[in-house]
Structure 1
Amino acid sequence: MVEDTVFEHLRAMPGHDWVRQIQSCTVSDPLQPPWGRSYRLVEWTMKHTPDSCRRVVPAESTPLEIAQAVVSHIPGRRFCQQSDS
């Protein structure tokens, strides 16, 4: 599977100790919107953080390119749903 190969590339990357904290990583099948190019959604979680991170990559990305996108990710805005209490 793509996820397994991405994990192998992530673990082989030197100098990225935080990569060992990745608990799960999923890569969607290619998605084709009504306009624009097709893409894959990459989602991963860290061991001690309840939130997941997501990144969109081009559908033709190789597992190595996906791993590089995960490593280069910079967290942005967080959107949380308000609970109705």
Structure 2
Amino acid sequence: MVEEMVFEHLRTMPGHEWTRQIHSCKVSDPLQPPWGRSYRLVEWTMKHTPEASRRVVPAESTPLEIAQAVVSHVPGRRFCQQAD
């Protein structure tokens, strides 16, 4: 349900045309590490890019805040599995 709301926010964000190229968006259930605050892992893929992008957000983030985090994402290092 959260994923659907995040996806809908991404589709309606003005000024971010690239968000229409998002193929899928998954949001994990809240995870609680042994230390620190709980978080959710957000993973999305683009239509023409095989690699997924990921971002961690606080567990209490609303769907709109998660969508804003996806839009503000700056790609970093890419870790791809090597084909054998």
Alignment TM-score > 0.5, same fold: yes
Aligned ranges for residues 27-46 of structure 1 at < 5 Å? 27-46=27-46
Counterpart Cα distance in 2 of 1:81 and 1:53: 14
What is the alpha-carbon root mean square deviation over aligned residues?
A: 1.0
Aligned length: 84
Give the % identical residues. Answer: 85
**1:7, distance to aligned residue in structure 2 (A):** 1.0
Aligned ranges for residues 1-85 of structure 1 at < 5 Å? 1-83=1-83, 85=84
Q: Which runs of 5+ in 2 are unaligned?
A: none
Amino acid of the residue matched to residue 49 of structure 2?
T
Contact 2:51 2:80 survives alignment (8 Å): no
**1:82, distance to aligned residue in structure 2 (A):** 4.1
**1:12, distance to aligned residue in structure 2 (A):** 1.2
**1:80, distance to aligned residue in structure 2 (A):** 2.7
Counterpart Cα distance in 1 of 2:69 and 2:36: 20
**1:79, distance to aligned residue in structure 2 (A):** 1.8
Q: 1:8 to 1:82 in 2, by over 3 A?
A: closer
Amino acid of the residue matched to residue 77 of structure 2?
R
**Structure 1 length normalisation: TM-score?**
0.94
**Structure 2 length normalisation: TM-score?**
0.95
Counterpart Cα distance in 2 of 1:18 and 1:43: 16
Counterpart Cα distance in 2 of 1:20 and 1:56: 21
Q: Which has the larger radius of gyration?
A: 1
